[in-house]
Structure 1
Amino acid sequence: MRENPEEPDIAVVHIFRFEEEKIVELWDLGQFIVKDSPNKNGSF
C-alpha cells in the first residue's frame, strides 16, 4: 500500500538472464502510468 494515494502509479518490470541455474544479469525498468494518457488503452 502506498503512503500517498495521490502519487502516480508505476509499472515495473524485472528481467533476469540465467546461466545454468544462476542469475547473471538483472534489469529493472520502471515507468509512471499517466492517468490522462492520449492513448485510449492507457500505457499498454
Structure 2
Amino acid sequence: MADATDWRNASTVYNVTNTFFTMRLDNRGEIMYYILLALINDEC
C-alpha cells in the first residue's frame, strides 16, 4: 500500500512534468503530438 511519501513524490513528478510542458508548449495539440512521438519512439 502506498504511503504519504509515494503520493507526494508522484504529485511532484506530475507537477514538474506539467509545468515543463506548459512552459514549452501553449498548444494542447502540440503536447499530444510530442507524447505520441515519444510513445512511437519507444516502440521502435
TM-score normalised by L of structure 2: 0.22
Greater C-alpha Rg: 1
- Structure in which a larger fraction of residues adopt strand: 1
Bigger relative contact order, structure 1 or 2, given CA contacts below 8 A and separation 6+? 1
TM-score by length of 1: 0.22
Which is helix-richer, 1 or 2?
A: 2
